[in-house]
Amino acid sequence: MPTYNPPLRDMQFVMYEVLNVVDELKAIPRHADLDADTLNAILEEGGKFASEVIQPLNLGGDLEGCVLDKTTHEVKTPTGFKEAYAKYVEGGWAALSCDPAYGGQGLPVVANQCVYEMLNGANQAWTMYPGLSHGAYEALHAHGTPEQQKKYLPKMTSGEWTGSMCLTEPHCGTDLGLLRSKAEPVGDGTYKITGNKIFISAGEHDMAPNILHLVLARLPDAPKGSKGISLFLVPKFNVNEDGSLGERNPVFCTGLEHKMGIHGNSTAQLSLEGAVGTLVGEPNKGLQAMFVMMNAARLGVGNQSLGLTEVAYQNALAYAKDRLQMRSLSGPKAKDLPADPIIVHPDVRKMLLTAKAYAEGGRAMSIYCAMLLDKALYHPDEKVRKESDELVALLTPIVKAFLTDNGFAATNHAMQVFGGHGYIHETGMEQYVRDARINMIYEGTNTVQSLDLLGRKILGNQGATLKKFGKLIAVLVQEEGVNEKMSEFINPLGYLADQMTKFTTEIGFKGFINPDEVGGASVDYLRVAGHLVFGYFFARMASVALKKQAEGNTDPFYTAKIQTARFYFARLFPETASLMRTARSGVANLLDTEEALA
């Protein structure tokens, strides 16, 4: 049975010692009174909820899965899930970063992000229920009508009602321009929604009395393609004027997907049979409204893999210290035992350190993005809001793709550390691998994220936002460039930052001549960009740790941080050289392959 220990010390290090979160938040009036003690108390309690309430449900939930009653269209979630959700609502966790105008606590996104990392590490399948609800809350908060907000947001803020987003249809996944669901106006401000949706996470369950579905559909005579999509709010139960539940809306679960992982989450097939819905946002501009939820989901999916990376690493580390196999190549290390613990072997340490580095780099990046969101939402300076929004838009596809690719690699490494026992369900390792695999697919495959990064976020504005991030690196390089102890971190980071400009220009020029060149290079490009961002944060973390040691601090945490940064730059960061080489190889070796793929 796996265990989970909330990584509070590392979260606090990133927030307070690297990013100076409290000082940054003090510039935002609504967070000016927030202090580290308050944040720490929230994270400690969130960690307890994750490790004590939902983590014990993870292994059993994977075995039991969800069950659909086809006669009633109701779904039963695994044993304990409903009760744990009731405790979540009772504890006020759903309202953590929500608007006080609707009953929220108004705490920063940073706090919510850290709590969700711990929830994901403890039980990703369970956490998807409140996670999707929070995304639906954000979409309604940004684009809902005053009537919709008054009617629905208090219930979503409290967590009493949950939400889902209904995009995918049997014939279309990422290409939403192909969707066929229809919305017919009734004449009273409502619409009758008809269509079929698939792969709807948390689309039907027994954890809350009502589910608010955000559904993409087409109005009559809507333009073809993505320009003709509108967004509708379709509740499972219609809501009366006094806020009580009314009649059942005809949006029914007709099947559950039999999935490789996340068995505890109900991935539903939904049939809308003239279901009553109300328009969210403007007609034919549904994607703009839905992108609020989709972007939140992309950051959330990266956070899911971050949680899995951490929990898989923790359990693999504990196992490696205990499992005896063979002797060290340089001679026995545990002479009083019949064999050495496997942690003495270099390749086992490589796997463990890979997972550790991916967790710590991902945590720094994730918390940084959360801080950017807090600034983009509420900073009093419009320029700061705009620049923060630009940076988080740039980093969002990297968070989604880089962290999920890394999460799958890390969970595989952790399973490998367990050897044959990693392949057995009871250890929990194989579940982490299966759960991690979906994160590379949903909310836009990682290839789609790569195209978004390179095609839209970078080439779309001639690299302007990338240059802004490059300036952050330049400042760090200038500050630490003369520090000999930082050379092993700063030199490779500075070199890649210089190469990135040339690399981007080259790919952009090729793409101008032949757009397929962008498609051929984008996945490798995103991974290079991910390492550039990780390198920046690892250099910053190493700088803080070295300064602490120079001040006489003997906390082994700082030594560990420096050692992890050293491993990252020596063993993982050099991947960028081969990635740039393959990206530059051109698209011909992919497309001029008719015979090879005949």
| Structural domain includes residue 2 | no
Residues 6 or more apart whose CB falls under 8 angstroms from that of 154 comprise: 102, 103
Burial of 551 (0-12, 13-18, 19+ CB in 10 A): exposed
Please tell me the predicted confidence (pLDDT) of residue 389: 95
Percent of the chain with pLDDT over 90: 95
Token pair recorded at residue 360: 């710590």
3-class DSSP assignment, residue 234: strand
Cβ atoms of 301 and 124 within 8 Å: the answer is no
Confidence of residue 296 (pLDDT cuts 50, 70, 90): confident
Nearest-CA neighbor of 416 among 319, 308, 322, 321?
319
Instruction: Quote the pTM value.
Output: 0.98
On the question of pLDDT at 156 being above 90, the answer is: yes
Confidence of residue 290 (pLDDT cuts 50, 70, 90): confident
Token pair recorded at residue 596: 């090879």
Give dist(CA 482, CA 62) in Å, integer: 52
Per-residue pLDDT tens for 418-434?
999 999 999 999 999 99
Token pair recorded at residue 461: 């504005």
On the question of pLDDT at 175 being above 90, the answer is: no
Range of the domain at 306: 292-584
| Structural domain includes residue 212 | no
Confidence of residue 449 (pLDDT cuts 50, 70, 90): very high
| Structural domain includes residue 519 | yes
Give dist(CA 536, CA 470) in Å, integer: 10
Please tell me the predicted confidence (pLDDT) of residue 126: 98
Specify the CATH number for the domain of residue 456. 1.20.140.10
For the segment 385-404, the average pLDDT, to the nearest whole number, is: 97
Per-residue pLDDT tens for 195-240?
999 999 999 999 999 999 999 999 999 999 989 999 999 999 999 9
Please tell me the predicted confidence (pLDDT) of residue 425: 97
For the segment 301-322, the average pLDDT, to the nearest whole number, is: 98
Burial of 29 (0-12, 13-18, 19+ CB in 10 A): exposed
Per-residue pLDDT tens for 478-532?
999 899 999 999 999 999 999 999 999 999 999 999 999 999 999 999 999 999 9
Please tell me the predicted confidence (pLDDT) of residue 470: 97
| Structural domain includes residue 297 | yes
The DSSP line for 382-401 is HHHHHHHHHHHHHHHHHHHH
| Structural domain includes residue 515 | yes
Strand partners, 590: none
| Structural domain includes residue 544 | yes
Tally of domains in the chain: 1
| Structural domain includes residue 390 | yes
| Structural domain includes residue 346 | yes
Cβ atoms of 468 and 395 within 8 Å: the answer is no
Nearest-CA neighbor of 110 among 431, 316, 322, 378?
378
Residues annotated as part of the active site: 443
